[in-house]
A and B are shown apart, each in its own frame.
Chain A
Amino acid sequence: MGINADIDHNIVTDARTEGLLFRGFEKMLEGRNPFDAVYFTQRICGICSTAHSIASSMALEEALGIAVSQQGRYLRDIIHGCEFLQNHIRHFYQFTVPDFIRLPEGNALFETDHHDFRLPKQRNDRITRHYFDSLQYSRSAHEMLAILGGKAPHNHGIFPGGVTAPAAPEKVAGMRSLLLNIRRFICDQMIPDAYTIADYYKEYFEIGQGYGNFLTFGCFNGYEKLGTLYVDPLESGSGRITKLDPGEITENVYSSWYTAKSETDTPYQAVPEPDRKKSGAYSWVKAPRYRGLPYEVGPLARMWLCGQYRHGISSMDRTLARVLEARKIADILLVLLENVIPGVCIQKEYEVPQSARGAGLIDTTRGALGHWIKIENRVLSLYQIITPSAWNLSTRGPDNLPGPGEKAMIGTKIRNSDAPVELGRIIRSFDPCVSCATHVYSNGNFVKTIQVMP
């Protein structure tokens, strides 16, 4: 992706987030066997593939009238929780830390073009050690995932009805042991490291604030016996926190490279056609809206809406909410693992109806993810996907309201316009799931190119 920013007297006066990679999954899914979507849609994203298998399974369950057993949900949510741990550890150490910590010289991977590194040597070195240590823990989070999910990325375990394989007792014990090690790393290294960085970069509590409109589809919630372990579907657009109504979601392609009969649609309406030459458009990312407004999604949104983090809304708060959420997820996984009954077989033979429709809405690592499907003649006739990054990096609608990522950058004071590190740090605080380069322009004049990690 790119960022196109106007910088006037060291203040960002305007910013546009540009998604420059087209995938086209929604068109590809039309005409396919409905069950294949569970494995197919995972290929949207290598770091959050599990999320798509859950959303897809949920949409199929609604369409096919499949009831999910509680044991099925526990096992599925455990797999999903492993992905949260893998993602948050990788995003913090491999993508956030290099923004603030000077990594070892002499390795091409770690060379940077800015010098805003503020930690004293001893603290810097400590976090550098954890950068390398973290590789082992994010890897073991994926190992946990594979114990129940078969492999990662792109798992096989999550499927309509719950999961494919019953959990053997030794699997549950093996996962618990890996989990306790990961949790120790999160509590003893990752959370203290995030607070250390926050101490030396205090102005980032004022930078990148955005709208403060939060939305979640809920996750680890509504269990029959366990109730809600994390967060229910909620939103805070009106200033107070209320129940989310999925019927209020729309998506427009006003500033995106697509053409459609109607520029604003509800998810069950048509999927627009790609058109790279559309004038006035600047991104492949569409513009999802709730009651017509842009919303921020992700760990800060969830932690805020469920009342567990209320320090503030900014780039640094997003990072702190993410590492604190990692601990929260580890605790939830311990509860779920304790409630797993080994050996319960969940799967049945399913039949695809002539026509049906269903939605799968779930909060995942980066925020609210929705899959909406229609089935005609026993095959998929419509597949609509709204990703968390589409919410956060959304483009502008006819009202010209900036997307949440754009809004968070506008008004930022840039210390050194030759090396505007602030913009990359703001965008990375959203954990954008787009693998791409970010280009920063000043008043249309090329200033420099910066990179945003997926």
Chain B
Amino acid sequence: MPVARNRALISILVIAGVVGTSGLFIYWAANSPLQVQRFLVRLVLISLIIFLAILFIRYFALLWFGYLQHTEKTIRGRVISDFAPPVTVIVPAYNEARVLDDAIAALLALEYPTYEVIIVDDGSTDDTTSVARRWEGRSGNAAVRVLTKANGGKATALNTGIAHAKYGFVLCMDADSWIEPQTLHAVMHHFADPSVGAVAGNVKIINREHWLTRLQALEYIEGLNMPRRAQGFIGAVNIVPGPVGVFRIEALEEVGGYDIDTFAEDADLTLKLITAGWKIIYEDSAVTWTQGPTNMLDLIQQRYRWTRGILQAIRKRKQILLRPFPDFPLWLSAIEMAFEGILWPVLNVYAHLFFAIVALLYGMGELLLYWWILLTLLDLVVALITVSMEEESLSLVPYAIIYRFFFILFLDVTKTFAAIEEALNLGMDWGKLRRIALAPGGEDGSR
């Protein structure tokens, strides 16, 4: 595997370059003249204030708009609509034999009048096809079909399912996800508005036995679903998540389905739909449970792919970043993606490193301590608000103490290197995550 080894070598050289440059800077800072040291101290103080200001503004905006979305639904009450057209559910599967049974069982328990399930086996090398074929045929309100194709990636599997769909709406999901029974009912009434092209659902982590997955559970609530709530309120949802996204076939056909040139086909498709003028809605009661990686290597493999995929989707449309009008929601979506994907992770890593080093070198430890206390209190309050709004388990809130200074910082190192590798256009491949079979039913009895 010379290609894989070469890629690994180049990546390691990139890492060495970044670490080496940072180390040289630290050495220079430690041995610089007094005037330079004073300048660095002032720079730290200003940077701390700017960092805090950005954080406060970001949290304030997300919580404010997220709360407006939440109260809007509370005031309107549960929408009662008889708009329930038939739906095709597409399940792309590659070596998912261990988890496919549970996913399909959950699909067949959907509380919806008419739907079909298409399982697209993307050239699996395990028993995925035979597991899928056991479910073929009619079951209650649903018909199950299995398509097989040569391995070509998730995007091609989804496109295959879309091409064979009988109905005018498709729900695209992951084979390791479990959809709540009321999800389709919660989503479909939005499509009574002909301008709605897609509805993004609410993804939650199901396997919370491990401290790492509990941190991811908090991250999904605070870092993914809360921003999506805020985006939904202002009509700028920028990613319809892979585990649960419902689309109007007409919208998909207009934009040509999923492209195969990025590793975040969900982000790429969402931007295509927004560019074409379709409205994207967020529905927080459309809940889907998915597995989070249980070890650090698998976790960063996932986040590495997400980061590079999102950056690839932005790179395809980089001219949008400089044009807020005439399509302001599209510009806002792209800017937010670029900020969260590149700027914030890099700022976060270097800010923390900078503060820690300067605190050590110039005796500013107390300032760092007060800054940490302030941020941790902020994180605890935000965790409490977001967990409460999602009606999730309060046992996740204490994890906010290590959320920023360990979990997010750890992931942002990966995102920083991923952004550098994407900028250098280094090659990559999917890297299959390991799946474990779980019985339906989360740790908190949520299903």
- Real binding pair: no
Binding site for B on A (CB under 8 A): none
Binding site for A on B (CB under 8 A): none
